[in-house]
A and B are shown apart, each in its own frame.
Chain A
C-alpha cells in the first residue's frame, strides 16, 4: 500500500478537459500559452467574462441599494430595545439612602464623558462592588450599598503619552461618577488599543494592539 499517495480529491481538480487550469483562466482572463485557439479555453473565458459582468452589475446595484436598507436598522433596533440589558442596580448617594442607577446607564454616562477627551475612545466599562472581603457579586439584581470599583477600557490615538491620557481619563471618570452620586473607591484604566490615524482626507486607518 502506498499510504504516502492519497487518492486525488475530485474537488481539487480545477482543470478543463484540455488540461488548462480554471482558476488561472479566471485570474488572467485569457487562455494560457498554446491554448489561444482551444475551444474549451475560449468557451470558459467567455462564460467567466459573462459571470464577471453579472457580478459587477449586481455589486453596483448593491451600492445603490445600501440606503434602502436603512429602515431595517430601525426594525431591528425596535426588537432589540424590547430586550435591553440594564444590568444590576448600582448604589448612589449616602449608604442609608435608597437611590440606584442601572449599570448600563452609569457606564454609558462614564463612556460618553471619556469620549469627549481628544484622542480617546471608551470601550468596555464594568462597575463592581468593593467590600472589606473583596468584590461581591450583585444579589437580587443589586450591588451592595457602599463603594465601587470602576474598570474602563480605552483606545487611544497613537502619538499621545499613554500615562497622561490614562490620567485624564481617570479624572473624567472620577468626576462623572461623583456626578452620578457613586462612591468610587478604585478606578482601573486599561489601554487596550492604539489607533493610528491616517492623514486627513483618507479613511485608511491602521490599528495595533497595545496594553
Chain B
C-alpha cells in the first residue's frame, strides 16, 4: 500500500495575489497564535478534509466525526498561543484529533461495535460508481470494525494517512515498537476480515 500524504509542511510560497493560501504551516500557525483568525482559517481549510476522513475512519460514524473535528479545531485555536513554533503543526493537530476520537470511543460502552460501517459514506456522483464506492467503503468499514480502537487508529494513520511509525508514536504518545505491534496485529485481523472477499 502506498502512503498518500504524511506530515510534510505545505509549500512555502505565496500566490501572486498576496493571499495566504500557500503560506507554509509554521508561519500560518505563528500568525494564528497571535490571534489572526484569517491565518487559522487557512489551516482549517488545509487540514479539515484530511482530519474528517481520519476521524470518520476511527469513529466509523460521519456525524460524530464532524463534531469531533470541529471540537478539535476549536481546541487547537484555544491552545495555539502555547503552541511551540518549532513543533510541526500537522503532528500537533493529528494528536488532538486522534485523541479526541479515542476519548469518544472510550466513552462508548466497552468494545461496542461501530454503529454502522455504512456511515463511511461515498460522495455523490455517477450512481454505478457511487454504488461501487459505497461497497468499498462498507467493506473497509466492516473490516476496521474488527480492530480495537488503538489498533484502528494506528493502522489508519499508517496505511490511510501515510504517517511513519515514529510520527504515529508521537501522536499517540507511545513507543515505536508498540506502534509496529499494533499495526501488525491490525493487519493480521484485517486480512482475516477481508478473506471472504477473496
Which residues of A line the B interface, CB within 8 A? 9, 11-12, 14, 22-23, 26, 43-44, 46-52, 54-62, 64-66, 68-70, 72-73, 75-77, 79-81, 83-87, 103-104, 107-108, 111-112, 115-116, 121-126, 153, 155, 192-193, 195, 197-198, 203-205, 207
Contact present for A121 and B78 (CB under 8 Å):
no
Contact present for A51 and B27 (CB under 8 Å):
no
Partner of A57, one of B31, B36, B133: B133
Question: Known: A55-B1, A59-B4, A124-B30. Contact between A69 and B24, CB under 8 A?
Answer: no
Cα distance, A124 to B27, chains bound together (Å): 7
Partner of B11, one of A104, A107, A204: A204
Contact present for A9 and B177 (CB under 8 Å):
yes
Which residues of B line the A interface, CB within 8 A? 1, 4, 9, 11-14, 18, 23-24, 26-27, 30-31, 33-38, 40-41, 44-45, 48-49, 52-53, 66, 69-70, 73-74, 77-78, 81, 85, 120, 122-123, 125, 132-133, 136-137, 139-140, 143, 159-160, 177-178, 180-182, 184-185, 187-188, 190-192, 194-195, 197-198
Question: Known: A81-B37, A124-B30, A124-B34. Contact between A57 and B48, CB under 8 A?
Answer: no
A18 vs chain B, min Cβ distance (A): 14
Cα distance, A116 to B15, chains bound together (Å): 11
* Chain A hits for B23, CB < 8 A: 121
